[in-house]
Structure 1
Amino acid sequence: MNCLVVLVAGLILSASLGNCLRCYSCIASQQRCVDTTVNCTRDTEQCYLGVAEVGSATVYQAGCILPGACNIQQSIGDLSVTIHCCNTDLCNASDQVKLSLLLFPALVSVWFAIFM
Protein backbone atom coordinates (compact mmCIF):
# COMPACT_ATOMS: atom_id res chain seq x y z
CA MET A 1 0.00 0.00 0.00
CA ASN A 2 2.82 2.43 0.85
CA CYS A 3 4.44 1.72 -2.54
CA LEU A 4 1.18 2.59 -4.27
CA VAL A 5 0.93 5.92 -2.40
CA VAL A 6 4.53 6.78 -3.29
CA LEU A 7 3.94 5.84 -6.94
CA VAL A 8 0.77 7.97 -7.21
CA ALA A 9 2.47 10.91 -5.46
CA GLY A 10 5.42 10.64 -7.86
CA LEU A 11 3.12 10.64 -10.87
CA ILE A 12 1.25 13.70 -9.62
CA LEU A 13 4.44 15.61 -8.90
CA SER A 14 5.95 14.78 -12.29
CA ALA A 15 2.83 15.73 -14.27
CA SER A 16 3.12 18.75 -16.52
CA LEU A 17 0.97 21.77 -15.81
CA GLY A 18 0.19 22.12 -19.51
CA ASN A 19 1.75 23.36 -22.67
CA CYS A 20 1.57 27.08 -21.92
CA LEU A 21 3.90 29.09 -24.08
CA ARG A 22 6.11 31.50 -22.09
CA CYS A 23 6.91 34.83 -23.70
CA TYR A 24 8.73 37.98 -22.71
CA SER A 25 6.27 40.76 -22.01
CA CYS A 26 6.30 44.56 -21.89
CA ILE A 27 4.27 47.52 -23.11
CA ALA A 28 5.83 50.63 -24.67
CA SER A 29 9.39 50.08 -23.46
CA GLN A 30 12.42 51.96 -24.76
CA GLN A 31 14.55 48.84 -24.14
CA ARG A 32 14.25 45.24 -25.27
CA CYS A 33 11.64 43.29 -23.33
CA VAL A 34 13.62 40.65 -21.44
CA ASP A 35 12.77 41.26 -17.77
CA THR A 36 9.15 40.13 -17.43
CA THR A 37 7.53 36.95 -18.72
CA VAL A 38 3.93 35.91 -19.26
CA ASN A 39 2.22 32.58 -19.95
CA CYS A 40 -0.02 32.64 -23.02
CA THR A 41 -3.57 31.67 -22.14
CA ARG A 42 -4.62 30.13 -25.48
CA ASP A 43 -2.99 27.22 -27.28
CA THR A 44 -3.16 29.16 -30.54
CA GLU A 45 -1.26 32.22 -29.28
CA GLN A 46 2.34 32.94 -30.24
CA CYS A 47 5.04 35.14 -28.76
CA TYR A 48 5.53 38.46 -30.50
CA LEU A 49 7.97 41.34 -30.52
CA GLY A 50 6.62 44.63 -31.81
CA VAL A 51 9.02 47.42 -32.77
CA ALA A 52 7.83 50.93 -33.57
CA GLU A 53 10.31 53.48 -34.89
CA VAL A 54 9.72 57.19 -35.31
CA GLY A 55 12.79 59.08 -36.38
CA SER A 56 15.52 58.09 -33.95
CA ALA A 57 13.12 56.83 -31.23
CA THR A 58 12.40 53.10 -30.90
CA VAL A 59 9.63 51.60 -28.76
CA TYR A 60 9.31 47.86 -28.02
CA GLN A 61 6.29 45.81 -27.04
CA ALA A 62 6.15 42.05 -26.42
CA GLY A 63 3.80 39.35 -25.20
CA CYS A 64 1.28 36.84 -26.58
CA ILE A 65 -0.74 37.39 -29.73
CA LEU A 66 -2.97 35.46 -32.12
CA PRO A 67 -1.25 34.36 -35.36
CA GLY A 68 -3.49 36.55 -37.53
CA ALA A 69 -1.71 39.66 -36.25
CA CYS A 70 1.79 38.26 -36.85
CA ASN A 71 4.58 39.16 -39.21
CA ILE A 72 3.37 42.63 -40.11
CA GLN A 73 5.53 45.45 -41.38
CA GLN A 74 3.96 48.84 -42.10
CA SER A 75 5.26 52.32 -42.63
CA ILE A 76 3.35 55.59 -42.61
CA GLY A 77 5.54 58.62 -43.11
CA ASP A 78 8.27 58.53 -40.45
CA LEU A 79 6.48 55.81 -38.45
CA SER A 80 7.54 52.20 -39.03
CA VAL A 81 5.87 49.29 -37.17
CA THR A 82 7.05 45.68 -37.32
CA ILE A 83 5.61 42.65 -35.52
CA HIS A 84 7.66 39.44 -35.45
CA CYS A 85 6.13 36.21 -34.09
CA CYS A 86 7.58 32.89 -32.94
CA ASN A 87 6.29 29.84 -31.12
CA THR A 88 8.89 28.56 -28.66
CA ASP A 89 9.39 29.57 -25.03
CA LEU A 90 10.97 33.02 -24.63
CA CYS A 91 11.71 33.29 -28.35
CA ASN A 92 10.64 36.93 -28.59
CA ALA A 93 13.72 38.44 -26.98
CA SER A 94 15.00 39.69 -30.30
CA ASP A 95 13.89 40.07 -33.89
CA GLN A 96 17.34 38.77 -34.86
CA VAL A 97 16.08 35.20 -34.26
CA LYS A 98 14.09 35.40 -37.49
CA LEU A 99 17.15 36.49 -39.43
CA SER A 100 19.27 33.61 -38.17
CA LEU A 101 16.51 31.10 -38.99
CA LEU A 102 16.31 32.45 -42.52
CA LEU A 103 20.07 32.31 -43.00
CA PHE A 104 20.37 28.66 -41.95
CA PRO A 105 18.92 27.15 -45.18
CA ALA A 106 21.11 29.48 -47.24
CA LEU A 107 24.24 28.41 -45.36
CA VAL A 108 23.36 24.72 -45.80
CA SER A 109 22.87 25.27 -49.54
CA VAL A 110 26.26 26.98 -49.83
CA TRP A 111 27.91 24.18 -47.87
CA PHE A 112 26.40 21.54 -50.17
CA ALA A 113 27.41 23.53 -53.26
CA ILE A 114 31.03 23.76 -52.09
CA PHE A 115 31.62 20.34 -50.55
CA MET A 116 29.29 17.99 -52.47
Structure 2
Amino acid sequence: MNCLVVLVAGLILSASPGSSLKCYSCLGSTERCVTDTINCSARERCVLVVAEAAYVKVYGAGCVRPADCSVRPNITGASVSVSCCDTDLCNASDQVKLSLLLFPALVSVWFAIFM
Protein backbone atom coordinates (compact mmCIF):
# COMPACT_ATOMS: atom_id res chain seq x y z
CA MET A 1 0.00 0.00 0.00
CA ASN A 2 2.83 2.42 0.89
CA CYS A 3 4.50 1.62 -2.43
CA LEU A 4 1.30 2.56 -4.28
CA VAL A 5 1.01 5.87 -2.41
CA VAL A 6 4.63 6.73 -3.25
CA LEU A 7 4.09 5.79 -6.90
CA VAL A 8 0.93 7.92 -7.22
CA ALA A 9 2.58 10.85 -5.43
CA GLY A 10 5.57 10.59 -7.76
CA LEU A 11 3.35 10.61 -10.84
CA ILE A 12 1.44 13.66 -9.61
CA LEU A 13 4.61 15.58 -8.77
CA SER A 14 6.27 14.73 -12.07
CA ALA A 15 3.29 15.71 -14.23
CA SER A 16 3.63 19.04 -15.98
CA PRO A 17 1.01 21.63 -15.05
CA GLY A 18 0.17 22.21 -18.73
CA SER A 19 1.60 24.47 -21.35
CA SER A 20 -1.21 26.95 -21.67
CA LEU A 21 0.09 30.34 -22.69
CA LYS A 22 -1.50 33.48 -21.26
CA CYS A 23 -1.80 36.39 -23.70
CA TYR A 24 -3.36 39.83 -23.75
CA SER A 25 -6.57 39.95 -25.75
CA CYS A 26 -8.45 42.72 -27.55
CA LEU A 27 -9.95 43.45 -30.93
CA GLY A 28 -10.01 46.82 -32.65
CA SER A 29 -8.81 48.90 -29.73
CA THR A 30 -7.24 52.33 -30.07
CA GLU A 31 -5.39 51.69 -26.80
CA ARG A 32 -2.70 49.08 -26.21
CA CYS A 33 -4.13 45.74 -25.14
CA VAL A 34 -2.99 45.33 -21.56
CA THR A 35 -6.14 44.66 -19.54
CA ASP A 36 -7.96 41.54 -20.77
CA THR A 37 -6.19 38.20 -20.99
CA ILE A 38 -6.91 34.85 -22.60
CA ASN A 39 -5.46 31.35 -22.19
CA CYS A 40 -4.26 29.92 -25.48
CA SER A 41 -4.13 26.29 -26.44
CA ALA A 42 -0.82 24.44 -26.24
CA ARG A 43 -0.17 24.88 -29.96
CA GLU A 44 -0.83 28.63 -30.15
CA ARG A 45 1.31 31.72 -29.70
CA CYS A 46 0.53 35.25 -28.56
CA VAL A 47 0.02 37.79 -31.32
CA LEU A 48 -0.12 41.57 -31.51
CA VAL A 49 -1.46 43.21 -34.66
CA VAL A 50 -1.02 46.95 -35.11
CA ALA A 51 -2.65 48.75 -38.02
CA GLU A 52 -1.93 52.40 -38.65
CA ALA A 53 -3.70 54.70 -41.10
CA ALA A 54 -4.12 58.48 -41.06
CA TYR A 55 -2.03 58.69 -37.86
CA VAL A 56 -4.43 56.42 -35.97
CA LYS A 57 -3.25 53.10 -34.53
CA VAL A 58 -5.63 50.22 -33.99
CA TYR A 59 -4.50 47.25 -31.89
CA GLY A 60 -5.59 43.64 -31.85
CA ALA A 61 -4.17 40.91 -29.62
CA GLY A 62 -4.84 37.29 -28.80
CA CYS A 63 -3.76 33.78 -29.75
CA VAL A 64 -2.88 32.35 -33.17
CA ARG A 65 -1.39 29.23 -34.69
CA PRO A 66 2.36 29.60 -35.43
CA ALA A 67 1.66 29.38 -39.18
CA ASP A 68 -0.46 32.54 -38.95
CA CYS A 69 2.47 34.54 -37.57
CA SER A 70 3.98 34.83 -41.03
CA VAL A 71 0.82 36.29 -42.58
CA ARG A 72 1.32 39.90 -43.64
CA PRO A 73 -2.02 41.58 -44.40
CA ASN A 74 -2.00 44.05 -47.27
CA ILE A 75 -4.47 46.85 -46.60
CA THR A 76 -4.42 49.80 -48.98
CA GLY A 77 -3.60 53.04 -47.18
CA ALA A 78 -2.56 51.34 -43.94
CA SER A 79 0.56 49.81 -42.53
CA VAL A 80 0.01 46.57 -40.64
CA SER A 81 2.47 44.74 -38.42
CA VAL A 82 2.03 41.26 -36.97
CA SER A 83 4.22 40.22 -34.04
CA CYS A 84 4.15 36.78 -32.42
CA CYS A 85 5.83 35.63 -29.23
CA ASP A 86 5.71 32.62 -26.95
CA THR A 87 5.95 33.70 -23.31
CA ASP A 88 3.16 34.74 -20.96
CA LEU A 89 1.79 38.24 -21.64
CA CYS A 90 4.51 38.96 -24.19
CA ASN A 91 2.13 40.70 -26.62
CA ALA A 92 1.74 43.88 -24.56
CA SER A 93 3.66 46.19 -26.86
CA ASP A 94 4.36 46.76 -30.51
CA GLN A 95 8.02 47.40 -29.72
CA VAL A 96 10.55 44.75 -30.66
CA LYS A 97 11.67 42.67 -27.67
CA LEU A 98 14.96 40.79 -27.56
CA SER A 99 14.81 37.29 -26.24
CA LEU A 100 16.97 36.62 -23.19
CA LEU A 101 18.59 33.81 -25.17
CA LEU A 102 19.24 35.99 -28.19
CA PHE A 103 20.96 38.79 -26.27
CA PRO A 104 24.09 36.79 -25.25
CA ALA A 105 24.44 35.57 -28.84
CA LEU A 106 24.33 39.13 -30.14
CA VAL A 107 26.92 40.25 -27.58
CA SER A 108 29.19 37.38 -28.61
CA VAL A 109 28.91 38.32 -32.28
CA TRP A 110 29.63 41.96 -31.45
CA PHE A 111 32.77 41.00 -29.53
CA ALA A 112 33.89 38.66 -32.32
CA ILE A 113 33.59 41.42 -34.90
CA PHE A 114 34.81 44.48 -33.01
CA MET A 115 37.32 43.10 -30.49
For the 8 Å contact 2:19–2:42, the answer to whether it is kept is no
**Bigger proportion of residues as strand:** 1
Q: Which residue of 1 aligns with 2:26?
A: 26
SS in 1 for 2:67: helix
> In structure 1, what is the Cα distance between the partners aligned to 2:93 and 2:110?
26
Report the residue type matching 1:58 in the other structure: K
Structure 1, gaps ≥5 residues long: none
Q: Percent identity?
A: 53
> In structure 2, what is the Cα distance between the partners aligned to 1:18 and 1:65?
18
How many residues are paired up? Answer: 110
Q: CA RMSD in A?
A: 2.9
Report the residue type matching 2:111 in the other structure: W
> In structure 2, what is the Cα distance between the partners aligned to 1:42 and 1:86?
13
Report the residue type matching 2:25 in the other structure: S
> In structure 1, what is the Cα distance between the partners aligned to 2:92 and 2:62?
10
Alignment of 1:1-116 (within 5 A): 16-43=16-43, 45-71=44-70, 72=72, 74-77=74-77, 79-98=78-97, 100-101=98-99, 104=103, 105-114=105-114, 116=115
After TM superposition, the runs of 4+ consecutive aligned structure 1 residues lying more than 6 A away are: none
> In structure 2, what is the Cα distance between the partners aligned to 1:61 and 1:81?
11
- C-alpha distance 16-46 of structure 1, shift in aligned 2 (>3 A): same
| Aligned-residue offset at 1:90 | 1.0
| Aligned-residue offset at 1:88 | 1.2
Structure 2, gaps ≥5 residues long: none
